[in-house]
Amino acid sequence: MASSPETQMPNKLDDMTLRLAELGNERDRLDTEIEAMIADMAIEPLAQRSAGDWAPDGAKTRKYLELTQRQAAVETEIIDLRRAIVEADEPASSLH
């Protein structure tokens, strides 16, 4: 027996809400890691930042770039998901 769209919506909405919470947790973790890396870099003498781990191709620079790219992707997904939740939560008749 197929379920009606009305019975599927709450599950979809619940799934989206759960995913939004997961993304929020990931964003918090990324923010913390990025802040720690910035603090770590700030204590490095300026002359040493251009070499070693903080050099343009250094391990910490690559890690920082990976984290900030993931952070941007998470933010985009959060925005898209919030829009989808609003759209899914609004009855079509309320648009008229």
The verdict on residue 93 lying in a domain is: no
Cα R_g (the chain), whole angstroms: 21
pTM of the model: 0.78
- Which residue did the predictor score with more confidence, 69 or 3? 69
Q: How many domains does the chain have?
A: 1
Range of the domain at 63: 27-88
CB-based contacts of 37, cutoff 8 Å, min separation 6: 60, 63, 64, 67
Q: Model confidence over 79-92: pLDDT tens digits?
A: 999 999 998 877 65
